[in-house]
Amino acid sequence: MTSQYRHTVGHNCYSFDNLAEVMAKASPARSGDRLAGVAADSAEQRVVAQMVLAQLPLVTFLNEPLVPYEDDEVTRLIIDEHDAQAFAPIAHLTVGDFRNWLLSDAASSERLASVSAGLTPEMVAAVCKLMRNQDLILVAKKCRVVSAFRSTVGLEGRMSTRLQPNHPTDDMAGVAASLLDGLLYGSGDAVIGINPATDNVAQASKLLHFISDVIEHYQIPTQSCVLTHVSNTLELIEQGAPVDLVFQSIGGTEATNRSFGVDLAMLEEARQAALSLNRGTIGDNVMYFETGQGSALSAGAHHGLDQLSCEVRAYAVARKYRPLLVNSVVGFIGPEYLYDGREIIRAGLEDHFCGKLLGLPMGCDICYTNHAHTDQNDMDNLLTLLGVAGCSFIMGIPGADDIMLNYQSTSFHDALYIRSVLGLKPAPEFERWLAEMTIFSADGRYALKEELPAQLASNLLDLSARYES
């Protein structure tokens, strides 16, 4: 047994078999880790594990991979692409020292950006476990990550939204109605993204052409995405479909990604294919990833790790492909993994903090399934906390109720709320478009009107009718 992972409290000596066990036992309580059998047995054991973790040098995580290098391409990515020069200024720190530095004034936005490439996901997950919610908010607020395609996401004082006009049968009139509704509430500057009810190439092509026509017709400075499998998107690009962003769900181990039907080579192939289309006007960030704690456990691919550590390893995958958007779908996986509002709120703040610290444009689908022990008030709390923390984007769904995926998220009205109470604005290109359309006033405020703006009076439903079979 390694003495490095021992700690005595009074007459009790606690010991941990390896680094993975220290990491798991140090995690704040959550149902997924209990389901996996890796959670701390008591609050005292959790605190002891956190004390052990705090004393470990950061370099420990370079020398002791949580998943063997030989067995996992995500581990190889993390180790092989680690930036030693960026790591050098903090290489002497322990995890506890690193926490103190992050919270200090010395860790400015510029310093955080300069060390980001030197951080591994395991270092970030470790320090996250030592931090209270307010610590996660303070540090994330200082991290500034900007990405761009036709709009700019992540600028200070701005919060974008994904307009999500899903429909349970992909009815084009229904999609068009939700799309128009969202635009009239100032939603959609992160992306207009549809989860297709029927996931095949033909349906995805139909939806992509429709959104592209809407964007072109109204000259909207945003991008489209149909959230289909990356292999379908590759086929769509070969067919000449108007693909802006490549979407894919990803996880933190090779086996998790294989359960999604992808590997690192396929993601790179898709990125290069999307770049070849050259459809961005102000940037070339062409990837959109979704993640979420618990996916590795759900796939039986967690290697005995806690779900936060697996989740942050997924961010190393995302970082490689310079995405426009990374979205933690925090409560979508259900109470088996995040039991109630308390666990969902904590996980949402963790994901946002860890992603931002690793240099990712993090958004959050602030959501829950209908059998979770939570409600919309908990989501209001998380939305407000993430707004304060500088979250790059959230979801915009009619009434916060996704009638296709059958879960609860954030509505167009929720975006107006958080922008109002915190003085946040949409992406600058989209803000100008909203003013031109008279949806927002010239001073950037939303004003509900009795009639459609004149520029939108040409009926969107007429446009959608072209696509009805």
Residues 6+ apart with CB under 8 A from 101: 90, 93, 107
Instruction: Specify the DSSP class assigned to residue 1.
Output: -
426 is in an annotated binding site: no
CA distance 77 to 79: 6
The CA distances from residue 314 to 206, 309, 353, 355, in Å, are 31, 9, 14, 9
Q: Would you list the DSSP string of 17-38?
A: SSHHHHHHHTSPP-HHHHHHT-
CB environment 260-294: b (16+ within 10 A), e (fewer): eebebeebeebbebbbeeebbeebebbbbbbbbbb
Find out whether 290 is annotated in a ligand binding site: yes
Q: Known binder of ligand: residue 119?
A: no
Residues in the chain: 469
Best CA proximity match to 440, nearest among 186, 179, 152, 182: 186
Q: Residue 411, annotated ligand binder? A: no
Annotated ligand binding at 293? The verdict is no
H, E, C per residue of 340-367: EHHHHHHHHHHHHHHHHHCCCCEEEECC
For the purposes of burial, counting CB atoms within 10 Å of the CB of 146, is it exposed (0-12), middle (13-18) or buried (19 or more)? middle
What the block records as the tokens of 386 is 């993430």
The answer to whether the annotation marks 221 as part of a ligand binding site is no
248 is annotated as contributing to ligand binding? yes
- Consult the annotation and say whether 28 binds a ligand: no
Binding residues for adenosylcob(III)alamin: 196, 248, 298, 404
Summarize the annotated binding site for substrate as residue ranges. 162-164, 195, 290, 365
Binding site as annotated, residues: 162-164, 195-196, 248, 290, 298, 365, 404
